[in-house]
């Protein structure tokens, strides 16, 4: 937060130079300890650099996570069937109400499916790695057998699929588009996602002439703000604005003639004329 450029040479016009030289750097241990992190550039005074102020919060309270559909789910063999079966179920209503209800049903089903079927991708990678290591240890100690020879490529295939799922999922959560398709750097994507989670949270709000910092006050203020917008009565009155702003260039008889289906004789005359 604050000014983007943290250093300037203090000159004007074409001689003015400004860069972002001052940054805050942390490691994984710091990110795991502090739940919320914000870095702010303060005003520059008696120096050519902007001082940096670091806000940290070690609260253990977890905010509700919004539902998000990940493209990685589409790689699972059961994803398409689940979506088709859920969408084909009948719901009561018409138009946008039916669409809203179908989307809600998909949300509930996919949350349950992600938790119980798709599972934790990191845990799946650990389990497959342990299985591969177990097979390789048996090969080193017992020797190669027909059974181990068949189990080894199957375990390697499961490990490849698990690593691809893990890489794609963390790449989506990190929202980093700098890497081309095929680049695998799950650790980097994991760190970027943790940085976004720690730095994108709301630590304080300026409300009129005061600043609120406690999570309860921030939650109450945001809730009251959106309730004041979306909870009021929507009184809609009829008006003739459309008729006034859009001129009527076609009369009713002409409109009926233009919108009716062509006759067979008309179609034949046009085709034979060409």
Say if 177 falls within a structural domain: yes
Other Cβ atoms less than 10 A from the Cβ of 124: the count is 18
Please name which of 112, 105, 102, 103 lies closest in space to residue 78, comparing C-alpha atoms: 112
- pLDDT at position 252 is 85
* 195 and 221 co-located in one domain: no
* Dist CA 9 CA 250 (whole Å): 67
Residue 156 backbone phi and psi in degrees, to 5: -65, -40
Return the structure tokens found at 28. Answer: 């994984």
Say if 160 falls within a structural domain: yes
* 81 and 192 co-located in one domain: yes
* 24 and 46 co-located in one domain: yes
Boundaries of domain holding 222: 206-232
* 32 and 128 co-located in one domain: no
- pLDDT at position 110 is 85
- Answer yes or no: are the C-beta atoms of 119 and 167 closer than 8 Å: no
Spans in the chain with pLDDT lower than 70: 35, 58-66, 119, 173-190, 193-194, 196-200, 232-237, 274
Cross-strand bridge partners of residue 8:
18
- pLDDT at position 181 is 53
Return the structure tokens found at 30. Answer: 């710091």
- pLDDT at position 59 is 57
* 102 and 219 co-located in one domain: no
Helix or strand run (H / E) with residue 19: strand 18-19
* 114 and 157 co-located in one domain: yes
Please name which of 121, 107, 116 lies closest in space to residue 72, comparing C-alpha atoms: 121
* Dist CA 121 CA 164 (whole Å): 10
């Amino acid at each position: 937060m604050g000014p983007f450029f943290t250093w300037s040479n203090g000159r004007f016009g074409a001689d003015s130079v400004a860069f972002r030289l001052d940054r805050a750097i942390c490691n994984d241990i710091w990110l795991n300890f502090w739940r919320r992190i914000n870095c702010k550039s303060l005003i520059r005074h008696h120096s050519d650099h902007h001082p940096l102020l670091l806000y940290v919060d070690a609260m253990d309270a977890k905010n509700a996570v919004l539902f998000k559909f990940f493209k990685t789910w589409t790689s699972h063999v059961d994803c398409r069937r689940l979506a088709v079966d859920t969408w084909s179920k009948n719901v009561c209503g018409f138009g946008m109400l039916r669409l809203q209800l179908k989307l809600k049903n998909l949300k509930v089903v996919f949350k349950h499916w992600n938790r119980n079927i798709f599972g934790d991708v990191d845990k799946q990678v650990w389990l497959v790695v342990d299985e591969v290591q177990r097979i390789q240890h048996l090969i080193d100690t017992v020797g190669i057998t027909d059974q181990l020879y068949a189990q080894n490529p199957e375990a390697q295939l499961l490990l490849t699929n698990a690593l691809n799922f893990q890489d794609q999922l963390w790449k989506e959560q990190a929202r980093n588009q700098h890497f081309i398709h095929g680049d695998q750097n799950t650790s980097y994507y994991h760190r970027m996602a943790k940085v976004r989670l720690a730095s994108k949270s709301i630590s304080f709000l300026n409300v009129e002439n005061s600043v609120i910092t406690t999570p309860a006050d921030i939650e109450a203020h945001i809730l009251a703000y959106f309730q004041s917008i979306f909870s009021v009565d929507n009184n809609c009155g009829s008006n003739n604005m459309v008729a006034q702003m859009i001129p009527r260039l076609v009369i009713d008889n002409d409109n009926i003639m233009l919108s009716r289906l062509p006759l067979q004789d008309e179609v034949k005359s046009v085709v034979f004329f060409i």
